[in-house]
Amino acid sequence: MKTIARIFVVCMLACLVVSTFAQKNEVEAIKNLIEKETTAFFEIDYKTWASSWSQTPYAFWSFADTTDVNSFSGWESINAGFKEYFQTAKPSKAKIERNWLDIKVWGNGAYARFTQSVHDNTARPPQAEVRVLEKVKGSWKIVAVSVIAIQKDNEPKL
């Protein structure tokens, strides 16, 4: 009986180690995808940026700061909304700083929350960002993006 109990404990520990390792791999894959999507956006690499997205009718993108509030529902709307940007913007080698706050993975879905500061030739406030992702054919894809500027205490909040 003791042998069966030991085998059971060893198997459970092995499963825990494998599960923890797999979870860490998924989190790294999600971080890498978000980095790839952001880099492609600033470098005006439409093909890579678009390939980071789940191009579905339920995709969603939103942005809000003190100068603008905007959103697009569905991949066709997101794609159309960024068409002019990818045709007219100049590539930027902006330095991106992220502070990862939460990444949760469940099955084929994930949630990532972080703050981001963009350092380039424009004065941008830091941003609070959320990504919702889904795994499609073994690869993570972005389903939803929410970006809101983090305002200083003395500035009006949205």
Render pLDDT for 59-111 as a digit per residue (tens, 0 to 9). 999 999 878 899 999 999 999 999 999 999 999 988 999 999 999 999 999 99
Q: Which amino acid is at 113?
A: R
Calculate what percentage of the chain has a pLDDT beyond 90.
70
pLDDT at 21: 45
C-alpha atoms less than 13 angstroms from C-alpha of 83 in its C-beta half-sphere: 7
pLDDT at 129: 96
Calculate what percentage of the chain has a pLDDT beyond 70.
81
Q: Which 3 state secondary structure label does DSSP give 104?
A: strand
**Mean per-residue pLDDT of the chain:** 86
Kindly state the average pLDDT of the residues 146-155.
75
Q: Which amino acid is at 23?
A: Q
pLDDT at 62: 97
pLDDT at 140: 98
| 139-149 and 127-136 strand pairing | antiparallel
pLDDT at 65: 83
Q: How confident is the model at residue 128 (pLDDT cuts 50, 70, 90)?
A: very high
Residue 63 CA to residue 78 CA, distance in Å, equals 12
Residue 135 CA to residue 8 CA, distance in Å, equals 32
- What is the token pair recorded at 52? 């980071």
**Long-range contacts, stretch 123-129, CB < 8 angstroms, 24+ apart:** 124/149, 125/65, 125/149, 125/150, 125/151, 125/152, 126/150
Answer whether residue 10 shows pLDDT above 90.
Answer: no
Q: Which 3 state secondary structure label does DSSP give 79?
A: helix
Residue 81 CA to residue 10 CA, distance in Å, equals 54
Q: How confident is the model at residue 18 (pLDDT cuts 50, 70, 90)?
A: very low
Kindly state the average pLDDT of the residues 104-125.
92
CA 21 to mean position of chain CA atoms: 21
Residue 142 CA to residue 53 CA, distance in Å, equals 5
Angle formed at CA 115 by CA 76 and CA 36, multiple of 5 degrees:
50
**Which of 25, 47, 49 has its CA nearest to residue 36?**
49
